[in-house]
Every structure is written in structure tokens, then in C-alpha cells.
Amino acid sequence: MADQTDRTPGFATLAIHAGAQPDPTTGARATPIYQTTSFVFDDVDHAASLFGLQTFGNIYTRIGNPTSAVLEERVAALEGGTAGLAVASGHAAQVIVMHNLMTAGDEFVASKKLYGGSINQFNHAYKNFNWNVVWADPEDIASFERAVSPKTKAIFVESIANPGGVITDIEAVSKVARKAGVPLIVDNTLASPYLCKPIDYGADVVVHSLTKFLGGHGNSIGGMIVDGGTFNWSREGRYPMLSEPRPEYQGIVLHETFGNFAFAIACRVLGLRDLGPAISPFNSFLILTGIETLPLRMQRHCDNTQAVAEWLAKQPQVAWVSYPGLPGDKYHALAKKYCPKGAGAVFTFGLRGGYDAGVKLVSNVKLFSHLANIGDTRSLIIHPASTTHRQLSDAQKVQAGAGPDVVRLSIGLEDKEDIIADLQDGLTAA
């Protein structure tokens, strides 16, 4: 019989155990909520070594917390990365990542098939930092290459794009990033590491909104950055925050000192420390609890969603269904490659009655909750053109897969027969 210590734990085992152990003081089996702002030093030398990055430990919850540390280690293990950093939200994760890569006047290339909030963040908020986005089309990989310039510092895509169910060819985009000498950042929120592990296909950094499927219960907000440990941050001196001496840390060169988890360290000690979007220990605790059932939930999400998408495709009020799990979908082959266990729980469909029919549908369902979130145990519905994507122009809405006829569903864990019956009632009313 093989020695258990030689085994690589399976996904479900990691989802429950990675990063955690019984509390050494009390023996508590669940990870405690360390609801404290700061931590006592052993002595002045211990404090100095912590502040100088010579010793790992706890200083202040804005920078790190033991509850959040378990969450960071667990998600990094599930993604196959070297280290993680938990922050206040998915948007915060994106800002912290770019803060370590970009200087004023720099550019990054992004897929135009993204969550509407990310499109808004990139188009508007980042302009205040003079970080400039150049858009590319995930259906035309060559467009990423054309978008690259000497100012490009990163490429950003989503594994499964929100809201349209677009599966990105991560491996193809990663080749463009390698050729350009820049890191590939993949938002893996909609897939979760249960369905897709972007680092296996060439991603250098993975980000998450922990608010969605990883937390899974619609009760807490958080974000995660996972360092893939795959990128040479010292190449050509293009990333000085990692490759040049840091004056605030006695001249330490982060990449030289921390190697394949230097980016996660930089995000913590140069980004989170100074910009401050810290996750609360209580939210970390709730998200950790959610992750313990991630594989069970994601499979049920996918099974339910497959059944609902197949049913909707047969309804006379429905003009089209965009779900990669359907054999006729144009992303079906990519879904089989990148998400073999299922194509996720979020998808869109179009109503023949257009904008007005979409508004009527979301107003007449009862089991579905009409709100701006995804990844909940409950089934959720929204009409993006009148809500989440309202700030975009009509052309941008269509580009983002949120045209006037589009309805987005996030299928929950209820009985699929009840989900379908509620949609039937809503379609009849619409």
C-alpha cells in the first residue's frame, strides 16, 4: 500500500483541508475568526524582522490575518499556484494586480468579453492612474497580438466571460503573452478552479471575485489574487516594483528574494499595505466555509444549468441560448477542453420580445431572485441592459453580450424542475 504522505490530495480534499489545521491553542477544528486589528510582537527584534520582510508573521490585519491566510493558501492550492492574497473584492484584486505592473502611461490588453463592471473599471477608473486599456476580441486571437505595443504590461481575460458564456482560448492567448514578454492574467470567477485551472494553460496570475462561486452563498464579499509562479519578473527590467531595490524595505529586490511567489508578496507589501482594500476576517471565514463544498456545489450548478439551457432552447419565446454546454454552441469545443466537468452556471439567452420582454420576465419570476450577483445557492436573474451594463453605450452592451434582448441567469442548487417551472411562468407572463 502506497504511503499516504506521497499522495497528492484530490480537489475535494484540498477544498476542505488546504491551509488549515486544528487551532494550536484551543484545538478548534474549524478555522477561528481572528477578529483583531493587530498582533503582539515577541520583542523589538521580532518586530523589526517582520517589518523588514525577513520573517513571515502577523503585524496588522490590513496586511495579513491568520483567518485570511488559510483562505489564501486554500485557493492557491486549488488553482495550482504558489501563493495567494485575499482582498476586499474582485475589483480590489484587479486594482492591486495592476498597481504592481503598471506605471503612468502604460497599457494592458483586455478581452472585450468581460463583466460590465470590469469594462467600466478599465475604461474609466484606470484612466485616473493613466493606465490605458486596449481591447481585443477573444474570437480573433490575432487581435491580441495586434493590440500589443512596447507600452503593454499585461494581457487580461476571463476564463468564462460574464455574462455571455464565452469560453476563452487561454492557451492561445498565453502564447501571445509569452511572445510579448508580459504576464497573462485570468479572471477565473465564473469557472472556479473546479471547472478550469488557468495556470495549467499558461496563465501567470489568476484573480477571483470570492463573492461568487467560491463563497457560494451570497453572504460575503472578497477577492483573491493567485500567483502562478511562472513569470520572470526581472526580464528586461519591465516590472521595477519586483526587479529593483525597494527603498521602503532596506533595498530588498522582491523577485530576487522571494522567487516564484514574489508577485503575491509584492501585491501584499506594496499594494495591499498602501492602498488598503483588506478583506475582513469574518468574510474570510464565511468564504472558507463555502469552499469546503465547492466541488459538490459546482457539479450541481452545472447539471442544473445544462437541463435549464436545453429546455430554454426549445421555447418559442426564446430566440437563442448562449451556453457552451449545448452541442450546437460555438464555444462547445473550447468548453470540452477547458471545462470538461461542466460549462458553468451562468449563461444568457435572448427573448424575441426584446427589451420589454426582458423587463417583464424578471418582474414575473418568483423562485428566481432579481439581483446583481451570480454564484449563489439560489437561482438569480437579471436583465443586464437595464441594470449591470446600463452605464455602457448600446454598442458596448452588444460587444459585452448584454444587448437589449439579453437575460442572464445564474442557476442555483434548487430542484431543476422547480427552476424550469418558474421560468415557464415568467415566460408566459412576458
371 and 255 within one domain: no
Does the pLDDT value for residue 2 go beyond 50? no
Q: How far apart (Å, rounded) are the C-alpha atoms in residues 16 and 279?
A: 21
The verdict on residue 93 lying in a domain is yes
Tell which of 290, 315, 334 closes a domain. 290
Range of the domain at 149: 10-290
Residues paired with residue 318 on neighbouring β-strands, in sequence order? 351
Tell which of 290, 310, 325 closes a domain. 290
Give 84-117 pLDDT, tens digit per residue.
Answer: 999 999 999 999 999 999 999 999 999 999 988 8
Give 172-184 pLDDT, tens digit per residue.
Answer: 999 999 999 999 9
The verdict on residue 383 lying in a domain is yes
**What is the share, in percent, of the chain residues with pLDDT greater than 90?**
88
76 and 22 within one domain: yes
HEC letters along 252-309: ECHHHHHHHHHHHHHHHHHHHHHHCCCCCHHHHHHHHHHHCCHHHHHHHHHHHHHHHH
Look at the pTM and tell me if it is higher than 0.85.
yes
Residue 173 three-state SS? helix
241 and 187 within one domain: yes
Give 185-222 pLDDT, tens digit per residue.
Answer: 999 999 999 999 999 999 999 999 999 999 999 999 99
CATH number of the domain that residue 194 is part of: 3.40.640.10
- The number of folded domains in the chain is 2
Distances (CA, A) of 386 to 87, 319, 358: 29, 19, 9
The verdict on residue 5 lying in a domain is no
400 and 304 within one domain: yes
311 and 286 within one domain: no
The verdict on residue 3 lying in a domain is no
150 and 263 within one domain: yes
The verdict on residue 196 lying in a domain is yes
248 and 306 within one domain: no
The verdict on residue 355 lying in a domain is yes
Give 304-357 pLDDT, tens digit per residue.
Answer: 999 999 999 999 999 999 999 999 999 999 999 999 999 999 999 999 998 889
Tell which of 244, 263, 290 closes a domain. 290
Q: Give the residue carrying C-alpha cell 492550492.
A: 77
* Cis check: omega of the bond before 316, within 30 degrees of 0: no
206 and 174 within one domain: yes
Residue ranges of alpha helices (H) inside 53-202 are 66-79, 90-101, 116-123, 142-147, 170-180, 192-195
The chain-wide mean pLDDT, for the chain, equals: 94
Mean pLDDT of 225-236: 96
180 and 112 within one domain: yes
What string of DSSP letters covers 326-339? STTSTTHHHHHHH-
Contact 360, 370 (CB under 8 A): no
Contact 18, 234 (CB under 8 A): no
95 and 22 within one domain: yes
How far is Cα of residue 131 from the mean position of the Cα atoms in its chain?
Answer: 21
Give 66-85 pLDDT, tens digit per residue.
Answer: 999 999 999 999 999 999 99
CATH number of the domain that residue 363 is part of: 3.90.1150.10
Q: What is the dihedral of CA 321, 327, 329, 332, to 10 degrees?
A: 130
260 and 314 within one domain: no
Q: Which three cell numbers mark 189? A: 470567477
Lowest-confidence range among 10-14, 17-21, 268-272, 404-408?
A: 404-408
Tell me the residue ranges of DSSP E strands in 89-233. Answer: 107-111, 132-136, 152-158, 184-187, 205-209, 223-227
130 and 58 within one domain: yes
Does the pLDDT value for residue 161 go beyond 60? yes
Does the pLDDT value for residue 400 go beyond 70? no
